[in-house]
Amino acid sequence: MASPHIMAVVTPYTVPAGLMDVLQVALLVLVAAGATALVLTRDPLRQVVLLSVYGVLLAVLFMAFQAPDVTLSALTVGAVILPALLLLTLAKVRRREK
């Protein structure tokens, strides 16, 4: 473990508090709007695209909440895996709906 007095010289990069607040509020508003849009979109195929966007929005919000680990998961799951699964499902389902 490096000795503390050496490490103390390195100041971690932090966003100024006021800016952080604004950023978080903006992201929260975007997430709330994204959730609403996602629910009100009744066409599943459009929903898949929106879900991807919503996944990214959540990921960025979690970044602002200082949770990089969760950001990575939200990105990979919310923006890639879930939309992919939904697309595959819709591909099968739609084929039969015709």
Contacts of 49 (CB under 8 A, 6+ apart): 83
Query: From CA 59, how far away is CA 55, in angstroms rounded?
Result: 6
Shortest separation between residue 53's beta carbon and another protein, angstroms: 13
Q: Are 28 and 61 in contact (CB under 8 A)?
A: yes
Q: Which residues bind another protein (CB under 8 A)?
A: 1, 4, 7-8, 10, 12, 14, 17, 20-21, 24-25, 28-29, 31-32, 35-36, 38-40, 42, 44-45, 47, 51, 54, 58, 61-62, 65-74, 76-78, 80-82, 84-98
Shortest separation between residue 67's beta carbon and another protein, angstroms: 5
